[in-house]
Amino acid sequence: MTGAERSTSFIRSRVCRPGLQCYCACMTLEDIQLAIAKLAPEDRAKLRLWLAQIEAEQAEPETETKASKLGRLAGRAVADFRKRMREP
């Protein structure tokens, strides 16, 4: 049996939660795309926000942002300037 035959021969289980619509536990990407296309505009907006939150949480934090690097360099410059002002 090939992978394609195996993927189409399984019985899709449905997961239902009280008060919510059922969804298929083994959805393909095409199934998800079709489900998203059927969403109301306000639900699609909620989905976009949710996906943006996930992306933000999973994004690798930058080790040093431009602002923090600039702040560090400015702090060093101010400290160096004050040190030179105290010298005779």
How far apart are the C-alpha atoms of 14 and 21, rounded to whole Å? 10
Residue 8 counted as domain residue: yes
Residue 83 counted as domain residue: no
Encode pLDDT of 18-38 as tens digits.
666 666 568 888 988 999 999
Residue 17 counted as domain residue: yes
- pLDDT-derived band at 4 (thresholds 50, 70, 90) equals very low
Does the pTM surpass 0.85? The reply is: no
Encode pLDDT of 34-56 as tens digits.
999 999 999 999 999 999 998 88
Residue 33 counted as domain residue: yes
- pLDDT-derived band at 10 (thresholds 50, 70, 90) equals very low
How far apart are the C-alpha atoms of 47 and 36, rounded to whole Å? 9
> What is the per-residue DSSP string for 3-18?
HHHHHHHSPPPEE--T
Task: Please count the structural domains in the chain.
Answer: 1
- For residue 33, the enclosing domain spans 1-40
